Amino acid sequence: MADTDVPDDRRIKVLYIAGYGRSGSTLLDILLSQQESIFGAGEISALTRHVWSNNELCACGKAAKQCAVWSQVLDSWVRRSHADPDTDVDTYRVEQHRAETLLSPSRILRDASFVRYRRETTALLASIAERTSCSVIVDSSKLPGRGLALAAMREVDLTVLHLVRDGRGVAWSLAKPFKRDVARGLQKEIRRKSWLRTAIRWSVVNLMTELLCWRVGRSRSIRIRYEDMVHDPARIASTIHALLHGKLAQPLDPDLAPRHQIAGNRLRMQRSIRLKPDERWRSEMPTPAQLAFSLLCAPLLLRYGYPFLNRRAPHRSIVTASSDVEVRDA
């Protein structure tokens, strides 16, 4: 089917959360999924990368292939795409890797591999929409390359949410290692990352996410800061719903309940989550590392409204939406 042959009412509405890790994407996914019309799927890209093959845990506490949602999504996807789950998932994984890399020749050239990837991906998204009966699917995979791949699919009605967090907080979070703990949602050991590595990657990923937002257009993208989300979640949720041409149908509960988020931060395995700022980096991250990070990433830190020096000031919320920038004292 050609792009122009896909009617608008048959396109799959996806809100894609893009940005760098440890920026609160899982929290935002859970926050948005408190609305009945929105299905917070977690990191959809991980389904075929490792979740189904390793039968990893869903946020509901059950393994993916035993989960009431994801087991049926898998069955529906196999039926729609005529795939063999024991062999074709491996083939799709290769095509997925080719299509979702930042500078993918497959995606740019729209070759046969990308055509197959596109067919399988839209079948997967359609299966999720069919099983959940939700009008919007939240994909918090974060990878800008995946967002660019989704933007190339006429079958997908894509809105991009660029989620940013002060890079120094990200760097300090990634400096802490975690041992493998499957029951708590940690499928593999997480090794500490140096602040220099994080500074470079934080900058590149956020710049590429800005490219993604430019690709979909100002009316289809928004930038949200982690710090604003945890300080005023109701306002942030209302702003995002307005971009999706809707409004909050249910009041937000201050205690968030994860549902069926797949992959993502280990906090999705908790039964209840209360949002609160995590700014321990301000006192725990060594001053030389903070200063070096600030010097290296100053342009983007200032662009996103973060002070060059570590200082506690009254929180000022910044939301960059389709055509406006709103700043207010919280």
pLDDT at 324: 36
In whole angstroms, give the CA distance from residue 226 to residue 278. 10
CATH of the domain at 211: 3.40.50.300
| Band of residue 179 on the pLDDT scale cut at 50, 70, 90 | confident
Amino acid at 297: C
Q: For residue 65, what are the domain limits?
A: 3-329
Strand partners, 314: none
Structural domains counted in the chain: 1
Is pLDDT at 311 greater than 80 in this prediction? no
Is pLDDT at 180 greater than 50 in this prediction? yes
Measuring CA to CA, which residue among 160, 330, 136 is closest to residue 233?
330
| Band of residue 184 on the pLDDT scale cut at 50, 70, 90 | low
Q: What tens digit of pLDDT does each residue of 110-138 get?
A: 999 999 999 999 999 999 999 999 999 99
Q: What tens digit of pLDDT does each residue of 251-294 get?
A: 888 889 999 999 988 889 998 998 888 999 999 999 999 999 99
pLDDT at 84: 66
Per-residue exposure over 31-65, b if at least 16 CB sit within 10 Å of its own CB, e if not:
bbbbbebbbbbbbbbbbbbebbeeebbbbbebbbe
DSSP 39-108: EE-B-THHIIIIIHHHTPBBTTSSBTTTSTTHHHHHHHHHHHHT--TTTHHHHHHHHHHHHHSTT-HHHH
Q: What tens digit of pLDDT does each residue of 80-111 get?
A: 887 666 667 888 999 999 999 999 999 989 99
Q: What tens digit of pLDDT does each residue of 142-161 get?
A: 999 999 999 999 999 999 99
Which pair of tokens denotes residue 76?
A: 């529906």
| CA atoms within 13 Å, Cβ hemisphere of 162 | 27
Residue appearing with tokens 């700022």: 277
Q: What tens digit of pLDDT does each residue of 206-251 get?
A: 999 999 999 999 999 999 999 999 999 999 999 999 999 777 777 8
In whole angstroms, give the CA distance from residue 232 to residue 327. 13
Q: Three-state DSSP class for 19? A: strand
Q: pTM for the whole thing?
A: 0.91
Amino acid at 307: P
Contact call for residues 113 and 95 (beta carbons, < 8 A): yes
pLDDT at 5: 64
pLDDT at 329: 31
